[in-house]
Homo-oligomer: A and B are copies of this chain.
Amino acid sequence: VHEGTEERVDERHARVALNLLTEPGDPRVARLVAALGAQEVHARLLDDTDLDGVRSDVAARLAGLDPSGILAEAARMGVRFVVPGDPEWPDALDDLADVEPVQGMSGAPLGLWLRGPARLSEVCDRAVAVVGSRSATSYGAAVASDLAAHLSSADVSVVSGAAFGVDQAAHRGALAVRGRTVAVLACGVDRAYPAAHRDLLELLADEGLVVSELPPGSAPTRVRFLGRNRLIAALTQGTVVVEAAVRSGALNTAGWALRLNRIVMGVPGPVTSAASEGVHELLRLRGGQLVTRGSDVLELVSPAGSCLAPVRRAAPSPRDGLSPDQRVVLESVPLVRGAPPSSIARAAGLAEATVRAVLAELDRGGFVESRAGCWRQRPTSEPRRRLA
Among A336-352, those with CB < 8 Å from B are 336-337, 339, 346-347, 349
A261 CB within 8 Å of chain B:
no
* Interchain nearest-CB distance for A272 vs B (Å): 7
Q: Is the CB of B284 within 8 A of A290?
A: yes
Q: Is the CB of A270 within 8 A of B271?
A: no
A296 CB within 8 Å of chain B:
yes
Q: Is the CB of B386 within 8 A of A247?
A: yes
Question: Interface stretch among A32-40, A172-180, A199-207, A216-224?
Answer: A216-224
What is the chain B residue whose CB lies nearest that of A337?
A: B219
A82 CB within 8 Å of chain B:
no
A193 CB within 8 Å of chain B:
yes
* Interchain nearest-CB distance for A157 vs B (Å): 19
Q: Is the CB of B332 within 8 A of A272?
A: no
Chain B positions within 8 Å of A334 at CB level: 219-221
Chain B positions within 8 Å of A296 at CB level: 284
A161 CB within 8 Å of chain B:
yes
Q: Is the CB of A312 within 8 A of B277?
A: yes
- A169–B146 alpha-carbon span in the complex (Å): 33
A269 CB within 8 Å of chain B:
yes
* Interchain nearest-CB distance for A226 vs B (Å): 8
Known: A135-B385, A292-B284, A334-B220. A26 touches B268 (CB 8 A): no
* Interchain nearest-CB distance for A291 vs B (Å): 8
Q: Which of B26, B195, B267 contacts A271 (CB 8 A)?
A: B267
How many residues on chain A are close to B (CB under 8 Å)? 68
Q: Is the CB of A271 within 8 A of B284?
A: no
Chain B positions within 8 Å of A267 at CB level: 271
Chain B positions within 8 Å of A134 at CB level: 384-385, 387-388
Q: Is the CB of B388 within 8 A of A163?
A: yes
Q: Is the CB of B387 within 8 A of A346?
A: no
Q: Is the CB of B221 within 8 A of A331?
A: yes
How many protomers of this protein does the assembly include?
2
A142 CB within 8 Å of chain B:
yes
Q: Is the CB of A225 within 8 A of B268?
A: no
Known: A269-B269, A269-B270, A386-B248. A223 touches B284 (CB 8 A): no
Known: A268-B280, A277-B312. A221 touches B135 (CB 8 A): no
* Interchain nearest-CB distance for A231 vs B (Å): 13
- A336–B167 alpha-carbon span in the complex (Å): 20
Among A310-358, those with CB < 8 Å from B are 312-314, 328, 330-337, 339, 346-347, 349
Q: Mark A49-90, 1 if CB is under 8 A from B, else 0.
A: 000000000000000000000000000000000000000000
Chain B positions within 8 Å of A332 at CB level: 221-223
- A255–B91 alpha-carbon span in the complex (Å): 44
* Interchain nearest-CB distance for A212 vs B (Å): 14
Chain B positions within 8 Å of A312 at CB level: 246, 277, 281
**Can you identify 16 A-B contacts, CB atoms within 8 angstroms?**
A161-B388, A163-B388, A193-B336, A219-B339, A221-B332, A221-B334, A221-B335, A223-B347, A225-B387, A229-B388, A246-B313, A246-B314, A270-B270, A271-B292, A271-B293, A284-B291
Q: Which residues of A are at the interface with B, using a C-beta cutoff of 8 A? A: 21, 23, 26, 134-135, 139, 142-143, 161, 163, 167, 186, 193, 195, 219-225, 228-229, 245-250, 267-272, 276-277, 280-281, 283-284, 289-293, 296, 312-314, 328, 330-337, 339, 346-347, 349, 384-388
For the A-B complex with A163-B388, A219-B339 known, give 14 more contacts whose Cβ atoms are closer than 8 Å: A21-B346, A143-B271, A143-B272, A220-B334, A222-B331, A222-B387, A249-B386, A268-B268, A268-B276, A268-B280, A270-B270, A271-B293, A277-B292, A284-B296
